[in-house]
């Protein structure tokens, strides 16, 4: 680890770990979930409310911030944390997934990715070198290598080619990255093939990074395949470095991934689902537009500390049915709080040596089709 960064494992339970990640902007307990502030904004939730959910670290995206407002403006503001008024650690994704999912007319060569902006169609170039320049200017505590993402399922030759290109790009990113107060993480690729995942992990380990991410998942494969890929990957990563599963996911995915040895997560689901009236609880999902909540005065969860749970389901449903923007805001805050409570429960279970029992309890509670159905 470089100066200002540390990762300490405090307890284990099987492959699962409870630890602390230290950065120049503070320390955060793991397992941790990062709300997604793609454009230096968590959709619909101001940064003070994000902190109140229990979040300790947030994620922004180099692809999006490069396109607007530009990394120079972010850098002039003092970096992405200062730009959005966040007083904790931050991470930037390099944008490899966004090139795969958003950009138009993408051409990937050994040099890099060349594409048209999804915003205005202008030509954009992402190479390992300028990805590092962009992320260093944005100034997050953790930057990600540029990688080549492909959709799954895909032929082995396609996955293998992208994985090996990602390894070569990792070497170029490592050489181009010079910011001492920013940690650069490598990204394991290899699709669902255990041999390719192992080769990628060992190749990145040979290059040497202060942290390692598992990428290229949640791109079309099922949950069982994702978990199998994790179990094929984590044993080949250094035990003393943080492990980050990118873009995942559903609560069940996080429960399974923690058991496989993953420490860090991010996903847009809490706010995306919140904006669409779906909220998570430990007793199942609640679809707030459902007519059965029209006169339901119960909070979403009795023991949840979030501001949404100061109101009854009836009021929250009314907000959505009336088209009031407060509805999506409150539902998003609740979901973000739920995710922080979820990783907190998993952490406490690891420390207590009862992760398997906690997993069973969580799965039994959340398996209810819709919260309240089991007792109504």
Active site residues: 93, 266
A 10 A CB-CB count for 172 gives 18
Helices (H) and strands (E) in the chain, counts: 14, 16
Q: Is the alpha carbon torsion for 11, 13, 14, 18 positive or negative?
A: negative
Best CA proximity match to 101, nearest among 268, 330, 296, 241: 268
Under a CB-based contact definition with an 8 Å cutoff, are residues 169 and 146 in contact? yes
Give the whole-angstrom CA distance, residue 29 versus residue 265: 12
Instruction: Give burial (CB, 10 Å; 0-12/13-18/19+) of 315.
Output: middle
Can you tell me the distance from the alpha carbon of 55 to that of 245, in angstroms, rounded to the nearest whole number? 17
Q: How far is CA 329 from the centre of its chain?
A: 20
The alpha-carbon radius of gyration of the chain (Å, integer) is 20
Q: How far is CA 158 from the centre of its chain?
A: 25
**Contact call for residues 152 and 220 (beta carbons, < 8 A):** yes
Question: CA-to-CA distance for 37 and 297, rounded, in angstroms?
Answer: 32
The owner of tokens 């030509």 is 123
Is the separation of the CB atoms in 187 and 166 below 8 Å? Answer: yes
- How far is CA 195 from its chain centroid? 25
């Amino acid at each position: 680890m470089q100066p200002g960064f540390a990762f300490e494992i405090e307890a284990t339970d099987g492959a699962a770990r409870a630890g602390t990640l230290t950065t120049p902007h503070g320390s955060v307990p793991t397992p941790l979930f990062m709300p997604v502030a793609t454009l230096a904004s968590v959709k619909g939730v101001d940064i003070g409310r994000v902190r109140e959910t229990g979040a300790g670290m947030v994620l922004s995206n180099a692809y999006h911030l490069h396109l607007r407002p530009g990394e120079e403006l972010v850098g002039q503001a003092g970096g992405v944390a200062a730009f959005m008024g966040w007083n904790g650690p931050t991470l930037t994704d390099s944008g490899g997934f966004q090139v795969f999912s958003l950009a138009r007319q993408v051409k990937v060569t050994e040099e890099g990715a060349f594409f048209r902006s999804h915003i205005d169609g202008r030509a954009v170039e992402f190479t390992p070198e300028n990805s590092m320049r962009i992320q260093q200017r944005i100034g997050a505590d953790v930057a990600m290598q540029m990688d080549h993402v492909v959709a799954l399922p895909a032929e082995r030759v396609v996955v293998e080619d992208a994985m090996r290109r990602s390894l070569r790009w990792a070497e170029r990113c490592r050489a181009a990255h010079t910011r001492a107060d920013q940690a650069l993480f490598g990204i394991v690729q290899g699709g669902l093939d255990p041999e390719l995942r192992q080769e990628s992990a060992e190749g990145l380990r040979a290059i040497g990074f202060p942290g390692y991410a598992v990428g290229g998942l949640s791109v079309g494969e099922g949950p069982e395949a994702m978990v199998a890929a994790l179990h094929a990957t984590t044993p080949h990563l250094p035990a003393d470095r943080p492990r980050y599963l990118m873009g995942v996911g559903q609560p069940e995915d996080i429960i399974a991934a923690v058991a496989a040895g993953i420490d860090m997560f991010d996903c847009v689901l809490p706010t995306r689902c919140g904006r669409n009236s779906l909220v998570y609880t430990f007793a199942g999902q609640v679809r707030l537009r459902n007519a059965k909540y029209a006169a339901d005065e119960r909070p979403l969860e009795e023991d949840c500390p979030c501001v949404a749970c100061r109101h009854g389901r009836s009021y929250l449903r009314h907000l959505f049915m009336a088209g009031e923007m407060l509805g999506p805001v409150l539902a998003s805050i609740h979901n973000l709080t739920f995710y922080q409570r979820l990783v907190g429960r998993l952490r406490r279970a690891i420390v207590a040596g009862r992760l398997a029992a906690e997993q069973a309890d969580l799965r039994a509670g959340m398996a209810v089709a819709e919260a309240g159905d089991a007792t109504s």
